[in-house]
Amino acid sequence: MMLVKDAKSAWRWFSVQAMAVQGAAAAAWLSVPDDLRAAVPDEWMAAGAIALAVLGIVGRLVDQGE
């Protein structure tokens, strides 16, 4: 397994940022009290996760320069 040439600057990539937001959102969601979680429709959470995953894919495909 080899890292990409510019792995040190990976934090600047849209794909890495989208996946970091998705992970942080999932961790934050676990800390939300159950009664508040019940107030948010499951479809919203699924849509948010899908949107962040799509943004990660798009971010990986877009040329972000040096």
Residue ranges per structural domain of the chain: 11-61
pLDDT at 66: 64
Spatial CA neighbour of 57 closest among 10, 14, 23, 21: 14
pLDDT at 34: 93
Spatial CA neighbour of 26 closest among 51, 50, 47, 45: 45
59/18 Cα distance (integer angstroms): 8
Burial of 49 (0-12, 13-18, 19+ CB in 10 A): middle
Tens-binned pLDDT, residue by residue, of the chain (66 aa):
888 888 888 888 888 998 999 999 989 999 999 999 999 998 998 899 899 899 888 888 888 776
